[in-house]
Amino acid sequence: MSTQIFNLPDLGEGLTEADLVNWLVEEGQTISVDQPIAEVETAKALVEVPSPYGGTVLTLHGKPGETLMVGNPLITVGDDAAQSSEQPGALDYREEEQAGIAVPEETDDESSGSVLIGYGTSGGGTSGRTRAPKRAATPTKPQTDQPATVAASSAPRVISPLVRQLAKRNNIDVTHLSGSGQGGIIVRADVLAAIDAPTASSQPEATAVETDDRDARSGLTIVERVPMTGVRKMVAEQMVRSRTNIPEATAWLDVDVTELIELRARLKADNPETAPSLLALIARFTTAALRRYPVMNSRIVENHDGEEIVYFDGINLGLAAQTPRGLVVPAIEHAERLSARQLTTEISELVAKARDGQCTPAELTRGTFTLNNYGVFGTDGAAAIINTPEVAILGVGRIMDRPWVVDGEIMARKVTELTLSFDHRVTDGGTASAFLTSVADAMHHPASALADL
């Protein structure tokens, strides 16, 4: 019998590992080319991995919850598994891009598994994952290494270790939850609902803490150990790279945005459904300033001759978003082409996808400049860390009433603080300050700025 081993591919993110969340097939099952076989959690997103081979599943290499290394075996397929290397899916995803092989685009059909997708699709309420039916004539190989309670009808059906971790960290007893996923599986939404509306039944009984697990430095008892994995691990590594490699400088500026608040109020009063959001207006002023100072929208890239500054024909505007999975930065592609109203829709949809864990790896890595609205958390200002390999990040603090001098008189005005962190290897303080002032001037006199856009 001919066999083919499919190794865990580089998912196009340059990552070296992924956590196996769930198998979508079983040993002994017949699968087809491009059929999703597993859900894996990378440091960027939760994605389905399609098989480049068709045939009979002989071996599943790994158990849910394990961390798998890129390049190590993921699945072994037998019989009719040998496929032409020219067929989409038969190569590593990065090799396919280099070879120019066209992979079918994602369609409205939720059963499509020909491309890596985020957790769920944008269609109806079901996940739309494709699974081949089990063969009635030949029983599948039993999973002897899994505890028997997994199949018991009385046990909570929690497949994702991320869901288990979310429940554990919020003291939610999953045995009292009803799963809304396919087949009664408990999903993240079920746990979040229990967190928002806790009941007595959702709280586990108090358990004794191990008294011998003490921290040598503080002398206190350790009550929980949380591994640095997934998004948290990615954020930590990204921040270390940024602080280690980038000679970072920060500039800030207080801005009177009273006119901006009044303009947005008038637009909302005229048409509440189509009025641009405040963040979308700021994003529009930011993209206009980036076109005026394109070095702020560049990247530093390493090649065989060293490092070089690369410029782009567009702006992929990243938006720092806090999600249940941690901090992620999804980016709007060619944001400079969109109006403030269009940006409102794009921002709303993209942030919602990020919070639901549905962003694709491309959406989470394509940014060329980041806008961070930490004012929603009640913060006045912050020296944000640059999202490498980008060269700058703009932060917006909370808007508050402050005494401000207008035409020689002190008045109460709406004021916010803009903070710009930039890579001093790429640009100097003069250009960075000019960019920051350009955004601030537009926010201070928005009607005039919009008239020029």
State how far the Cα of 379 lies from the Cα of 134, in Å rounded to an integer: 54
Residue 41: how many other CB atoms lie within 10 Å: 23
Catalytically annotated residue among 61, 176, 304, 424: 424
Tell me whether residue 424 is one of the annotated catalytic residues: yes
Do 19 and 161 meet the contact criterion of CB atoms below 8 Å apart? yes
State how far the Cα of 291 lies from the Cα of 57, in Å rounded to an integer: 52
Structure tokens of 300? Answer: 């530093």
SS in 3 state form for the chain?
CCEEEEECCCCCCCCCEEEEEEECCCCCCEECCCCEEEEEECCCCEEEEECCCCEEEEEECCCCCCEEECCCEEEEEECCCCCCCCCCCCCCHHHHHHHCCCCCCCCCCCCCCCCCCCCCCCCCCCCCCCCCCCCCCCCCCCCCCCCHHHCCCCCCCCCCHHHHHHHHHCCCCHHHCCCCCHHHCCCHHHHHHHHHCCCHHHCCCCCCCCCCCECCCCCCECCCCCCCCHHHHHHHHHHHHHHHHCCEEEEEEEEECHHHHHHHHHHHHHCCCCCCCHHHHHHHHHHHHHHHCHHHHCEEEEECCEEEEECCCCCCEEECEEECCEEECCEECCHHHCCHHHHHHHHHHHHHHHHCCCCCHHHHHCCCEEEECHHHHCCCCCCCCCCCCECEEEEECCCEEEEEEECCEEEEEEEEEEEEEEECCCCCHHHHHHHHHHHHHHHHCHHHHHHHC
Give me the active site residues, please: 424
